[in-house]
Amino acid sequence: MKVVVIQGPNLNMLGHREQGIYGAMKLETIHAQMESVAKQNNLEIEFFQSNLEGEIVDKIQECLGDADGIIINPAAYTHTSIAIRDALSAVSLPAVEVHISNIYRREEFRHTSMTAPVCTGQISGFGPFGYHLALISMMQILSEVQAIRQEQEKTQKA
């Protein structure tokens, strides 16, 4: 099974930007921790970060047929991007939206997520640990999807 982790704009600046909101951990450290957990669970994981909306849309589309699930932090695009929302909807893969800060305790414009309604779930406000929670959630989702497929195959053979 393969999960693609997609990071939106300015997340490459983690550890430098607004540490009171986002903490001191760098994106590379978050990814290294996720990779360790993925390896322990025989899960392939790929990381992608872009500050450009179109590149994020392209990456989501590339997941179709190549990945089993998506973990995404659309960052500022969470609140504005119908294109990213439509791409997530089009590929119909399980997706978990992650936010380091609690977007519902911040400025009002951050309270609306354009992408959450087409995601399987959302994790918000747990700092970098939210990515670990997202990975655990995705492993559970993929396990359930696999079990359903196996049951359907049994039924079809009977």
The amino acid that residue 78 corresponds to is: T
Write out the catalytic residue numbers.
22, 99
Among 117, 30, 136, smallest CA distance to 78 is for 117
Q: Which residues of 119-152 are buried (b: 16+ CB within 10 A; e: fewer)?
A: beebbbebebebbbebbebbbebbeeeeeeeeee
Domain ranges in the chain are 2-157
The structure's pTM equals 0.92
pLDDT tens column, 3-21: 999 999 999 999 888 777 7
Q: Where in the chain does DSSP place strands (E)? A: 2-7, 44-49, 69-73, 95-99, 121-124
* CATH number of the 2-157 domain: 3.40.50.9100
pLDDT tens column, 107-158: 787 778 999 999 999 999 999 999 999 999 999 999 999 999 888 888 888 7
